[in-house]
Amino acid sequence: MSTRTILTWPDARLSMVCEPVSEITDDIQVLAADMLETMYEAPGRGLAAPQVGAMLRIFVMDATWKEGTADPMVCINPKITSQSETISTGPEGCLSIPGVEAEVSRPESVHMVWTDLSGATREADLTGFPALCAQHELDHLDGIVTLDRVDATQRADILATYNGQS
């Protein structure tokens, strides 16, 4: 395992739709392990393959490790099949837009289906932060970043701050 470089916005790869993973190969196993190591070192709670330059539909997340209970997930070809009508708005950070938080509105609960590293189909009802994290990472697989989820005023304010960073 090794850490990988996290791409930062406005790298064009962060705006690209990723290709499905057709087969779980040794390369996919290594990618997933490297992504987990990179995510923990960053330190983040989620990381999508395009954030490390791999244009594949895979993300990793661990919504609880910072509270002391590690529960890593590797999600290959994830899909949200249903979502709650209840919307939650709160601050979101992104490892690819360092130092920036945006107020983003998302469904509070989702039902997600994905393939794990063994090739098994998995599904779960995610609520609260795990649901928000999964939606954020799935956005990356569709070429959507946090800045695409905010209104023009908030985006302009964020960009003014972000562009001022060295």
Give the largest Cα separation in the chain, rounded.
45
Distance (Å, whole) CA 98 – CA 42: 10
| Options 19, 85, 103, 137, the catalytic residue | 137
Active site residue 101: no
- For residues 118 and 121, what is the distance between their CA atoms, to the nearest angstrom? 9
E strands of 19-129, at which residues?
A: 46-48, 58-61, 73-83, 87-93, 101-107, 109-115, 121-127
Asked if the bond preceding 78 is cis, omega within 30° of 0, the reply is: no
Strand partners, 111: 82, 125
Handedness of CA 27, 4, 58, 19 (dihedral sign): negative
* Residue the block writes with tokens 């609520």: 127
Catalytic residue numbers read 137
